Amino acid sequence: MNTATHAATSELRVAVLGARGKVGREICRAVEDAEGMTLVAEVDAGDSIEVLVEAGAQAVVDFTHPDVVMGNLEYCIDHGIHAVVGTTGFDDDRLAQLRTWLEGAPSTGVLIAPNFSIGAILMMRFAAQAAPFFDSVEIVELHHPTKADAPSGTARRTAELVAEARRAAGSAAMPDATSTALAGARGADVEGIPVHSVRVRGLVAHQEVILGELGETLTIRHDSLDRAGFGPGVLAGLRAIEDHPGLTVGLEHFLDLPR
Ligand SMILES: NC(=O)C1=CN([C@@H]2O[C@H](COP(=O)(O)OP(=O)(O)OC[C@H]3O[C@@H](n4cnc5c(N)ncnc54)[C@H](OP(=O)(O)O)[C@@H]3O)[C@@H](O)[C@H]2O)C=CC1
Ligand SMILES: O=C(O)C1=N[C@H](C(=O)O)C[C@H](O)C1
């Protein structure tokens, strides 16, 4: 655990939870190099979370583990510390719990972003835009084998957005004649969209959305090749979070994306 002393400054005081992890390390570097913010604490497993208050953190970035992130957020919300969260594993129950906690802290902001990379956000947007034009949509996400959750948060969110777009367009059920299958062979069902998870050493984070129509397919693919690619999105989240109290899901709400 590293902490900086609490000097009077107008810079945003940022702490990173999961600071020694694969992404956390990159985020510490990005915050240290960024203008307008100071890295005041690097916290990892085994460190006391009380260091956030002791270091005077105004905002935290959480890249830890789905098993611990809710406890971290309860502490942050209780202490009025804004949170920019990359950790995955959020479902409707968890989001509802966060909203309840935030009712007691109306000026605190929490951003849950399944993916901070701009390319992945655009992939999700383009997939949702394309979905109503095709009979079939399936998602294949490919990650390093140290990943805890499957499907990935990004794949789950993409499937939700695709399903929402298909519902809004009144799309028919997708064609699929499968009548016998080994368990898992057709992937996980996320709101009717099949999601296939691949875990292979050497990969970082990749996703394909495959859309099909009679006589043609469209594949939208995104590749994260280096975890430094998550840094700019996290910094954008930190710069916006003070002005967005309550719960926000998805960094796209803080970006000026085309409709
Ligand atoms: N939204 C996005 O853009 C992205 C999200 N992610 C997500 O971020 C999370 C972390 O990913 P990644 O960096 O690859 O994982 P790592 O396992 O490499 O890093 C997680 C770090 O958090 C530490 N940790 C565990 N518990 C605590 C705790 N209570 N307090 C502080 N630190 C803790 C771990 O320590 P130890 O190893 O000792 O347990 C580890 O050092 C995952 O959920 C992943 O899916 C990843 C990439 C991008
Ligand atoms: O664990 C990872 O590595 C990643 N997790 C996020 C997810 O689950 O979508 C984002 C990105 O895919 C990398």
Alpha carbons within 13 angstroms on the beta-carbon side of residue 90 total 28
CB 220 within 8 A of CB 126: yes
Is position 180 annotated in a ligand binding site? no
Percent of the chain whose pLDDT exceeds 70: 96
Mean pLDDT of 1-7: 58
Q: What structural domains does the chain harbor?
A: 12-112+228-249 (3.40.50.720), 118-173+183-225 (3.30.360.10)
Average pLDDT along the chain: 96
Q: Which residue is it, tokens 């996980």?
A: 188
Q: Could you tell me the pLDDT band of residue 9, with boundaries at 50, 70 and 90? A: low
Q: Which atom of ligand 1 is nearest to the CA of 205?
A: 47
Q: What confidence tens digit (pLDDT) does each residue in 119-138 have?
A: 999 999 999 999 999 999 99
Q: What confidence tens digit (pLDDT) does each residue in 184-236 have?
A: 999 999 999 999 999 999 999 999 999 999 999 999 999 999 999 999 999 99
Ligand 2 pocket, residues with Cβ under 6 angstroms: 88, 114-115, 143, 147, 152-154, 205
Q: What confidence tens digit (pLDDT) does each residue in 47-89 have?
A: 999 999 999 999 999 999 999 999 999 999 999 999 999 999 9
Distance CA 151, CA 198 (A): 9
Is position 113 annotated in a ligand binding site? yes
Q: What is the pLDDT of residue 249?
A: 96
Q: What is the pLDDT of residue 256?
A: 86
Q: What is the pLDDT of residue 97?
A: 98
Q: How far is the CA of 62 from the centre of ligand 1 (A)?
A: 8
Residue 156 has pLDDT above 90, yes or no: yes
Give CA angle at 250 (232, 161), nearest 5°. 130
Neighbours of 72 (CB within 10 A): 22
Token duo for residue 46: 């085994």
Is any ligand 1 atom within 6 A of the Cβ of residue 87? yes
> Which helix H or strand E contains 120, and what residues bound it?
helix 118-130
Is position 108 annotated in a ligand binding site? no
Q: How far is the CA of 157 from the centre of ligand 1 (A)?
A: 19
Task: Provide the whole-model pTM.
Answer: 0.95
Q: What confidence tens digit (pLDDT) does each residue in 229-250 have?
A: 999 999 999 999 999 999 999 9
Is any ligand 1 atom within 6 A of the Cβ of residue 116? yes
Which 8-state DSSP code applies to residue 64? S
Q: ipTM exceeding 0.90?
A: yes
